[in-house]
Every structure is written in structure tokens, then in C-alpha cells.
Amino acid sequence: MSEKIKLSSKLPGDESVNGLDAYHDDLVKDDAQPIFIAGWAVARRVIKDREPHGSAPSEVPVLELRRVEVLGTTGTIPQPVVAAFLKAQETRLNREPLPIDEMEPPKAHEVLDDEPETVVEMSGRAAKPRNRRPRKVD
């Protein structure tokens, strides 16, 4: 998880600028494919930490998506979009990036707990599911 930048949980409410809502039914399926999105984000606010710890910065912007569209799943993204994305990563990293269908860099000796996530109904509202947290394996 990034210590330098956070994402706001708010998404645009207007369907003319929020292309994610159209994918709701696909995203709730058990076999949902990762989606590739493009969008515009702005710093909604800046969190100021008077006592930063470790390498954490003293100011952390919280980004809010203002416009977002789904460009496809890992197997359906147009090739020019894939090329532009990988070129941007290569320029930023100054090395060859991960393949487009790999979501995260491999982590040595780390696995997810096998405990399934659950959602609890409370007064007609769904509680937040527990996050699956990585744990170290010896």
C-alpha cells in the first residue's frame, strides 16, 4: 500500500463521467476479470502529518477520480492502449515493466490468509468486508 498517495473512496455519481457503474454486474461475479481503466484524478485534500514515520512523507494527497472509463479486461484492451501504458511505465521506472496481465509484482515468502471475506447485513446496510491481509511465511 502506498504511503505517499491515497485514493478517495468516492466515485463520480453521474453516469456521464463514471464508466465503472456500467460494469457493476460483471464485477460482482465470482469469476470477475480485472478491468483496465483510464481516468482523470485530482487531489481532493492533503493530509498533513506533523510527525511522519519512516519514509512516509509529511504531506499525503488524497486523489479523487473525477472521470473514469473502462477500456477492457486484460485480454480485450486495444493494443495501442497497452503499448502506451507499458511505455509510460518503462519511462517512469527506467526499466522493462511487468507484462500487462500481471497485477502486482511478485512478493517473496508472502501468502494470503485462507480465511474467506464475509459481508454482514446490519439494518439493511452491508458492513465492510474484512480485508484479506498478507501474512509472512517462514
- Tens of pLDDT along 65-114? 999 999 998 789 999 999 999 999 999 999 998 888 787 766 654 444 44
pLDDT in tens, 112-132: 444 444 443 333 434 444 444
Name the pTM for this structure: 0.65
Q: Distance between CA atoms of 104 and 86, rounded to whole angstroms?
A: 14
For the ranges 21-25, 51-55, 82-86, the lowest mean pLDDT is seen at 51-55
Average pLDDT over residues 24-41: 91
Q: Distance between CA atoms of 51 and 134, rounded to whole angstroms?
A: 27
Nine cell digits for residue 128:
465492510
Q: What's the pLDDT at 23?
A: 92
Sign of CA dihedral 107, 47, 68, 81: negative
Q: What's the pLDDT at 56?
A: 67
Q: Tell whether the model's pLDDT for residue 57 goes beyond 90.
A: no
Q: What's the pLDDT at 37?
A: 93
Q: What's the pLDDT at 25?
A: 93
